[in-house]
Structure 1
């Protein structure tokens, strides 16, 4: 999200807000990174989140708390303890706080690309580096920004986000938007985001997300085993892998298409044909592999464009490489994190080459 990792907060006082958040917003304007209104809504949105936090223990103890929410929060804290005690992830106040935001998403991300390109419009921020989206705390503001991009001929996608990490610069809370999830998904989010707090490489999304996704997956496996549960549903994971591969293959074909010397009308027609082909492949996959059931129908049959394909592949590209690193250190979490930090310190090209070598 960029700006969310700009300021480390103790308890989020008004003094902090006016002394640090607002000047940084002005700095963003002066540097040409964005408009004052954009940075202002980020500062205000983060401040509202900070000021609404309560200790989970207080919410659980409050007689007015809904019984279902109380039970969910109690189970979440068991996962939070497991994260620090067994997975050796940061032991701090993150995910030991709760905030009710009274809306389905905490932010809405706006992705944009040119009509015949899969290169995202990037936005760069201090500390967090460059990201392929802009985040808005208001759905209306996100839609407005997307509309302006479309008027400029861009492919645009707006996606709601139920949670995000500030990389340890704030004590991240459990957010009410996460309460529609199952207990295990909530646990995996805690593992994933604490992994980001543990280590983060500026300007290397593939490395950061693949590393955190491995911690999430292996952490969840160990979390299930610790509670005497069977391994996660392999079929569901396989479906997600197959669907992701389908999208990545479509993206690769589009990449090749956009390199061709075609007229705009011909390019536009060929682009539409590629998306139609992807839908046909999806239907065939449902029939041949998934018993006719489609978990991804809503995504596939809503409007498709370049921007909608951008998030795919970022979260799991190097997961097998990190699994290999974990195996090499005999499943020792502290040793694993030490090796991850070593890899993160390598030059970007060398780091990428090493990860690719591990996957062979």
Structure 2
């Protein structure tokens, strides 16, 4: 059987909506995040809130009843129809989930003044999302959670690919989920990384991120399908606990490693989903790394104005948007104020309504501690 790892189904839930069609439609409109005091009572902020109804988890153990798991189950339900048609050995299936918050947001409510409920530590354990999904589905193969900040969801996909290529399992459910909570909103605010206006990636006027929540799940196997994960590149800057290497050396290394893994040249890639957080340092180092690796004509965009920065879910969510681009030829647009930063190399930022027959698309994620990953996804002929 092929060592290529294929994508058989995809579930997306974010501020853009629930399901692939909702995300396709949202990309054709101007982004609009929720303006709210939630999670930061002293100030109205734009946040990537999931406003659609989420599944009821009252049938699950109390410790599993978190908003994070609701997001995760929402993404899973989009895969469930495909899953039901498969004959699988539960011991030959892996569940790998990326997260940074797990169920912390639900426990925050238990700690609020006047609350008469007891916080459930198990609910906020990093292991909780994978444990929940494996338990609900009766999966007895490897099940674990990765928490590498903003690369977590992409790392989960990469880890699942390795398990499949090693023959450890036959199917992998991989992705990320992160729910909004006060810890992340106030924490990033303390780092002066939050923007009080919609984020403005790659602009001279960029002022920081908007936090969001989301879940994205991929169903992967070695059985041929239309789209494959053809390349993975990972690196570590070891530069600073929160700031990236200003020259983007680690980011560049990840980009080049993904290309080498896929046996592709830079000119083969038709679209790049930027990490594009709209912070001063991330956009600077990423623009320089991208300019060194790719031709100037490579279409690229940051989709965080649509979703907010969904942290542990971001890498999987944005890889999912690359899948949509491969399927439809509609490239995710880059929304900003159009004021280019003269200190950054010029990038070919995608204009709304851009269509291109894209065969290979890349998604990048760069996290605290210099943790970097690039995923290459490709339409393949079987």
**TM-score greater than 0.5 by the shorter chain:** no
TM-score for both structures, normalised by structure 2: 0.27
TM-score for both structures, normalised by structure 1: 0.28
Kindly indicate whether structure 1 or structure 2 has the higher relative contact order, using CA contacts under 8 Å at least 6 residues apart: 2
**Structure with max Cα Rg:** 1
Q: Which has the higher helix share?
A: 1
Q: Which has the higher strand share?
A: 2
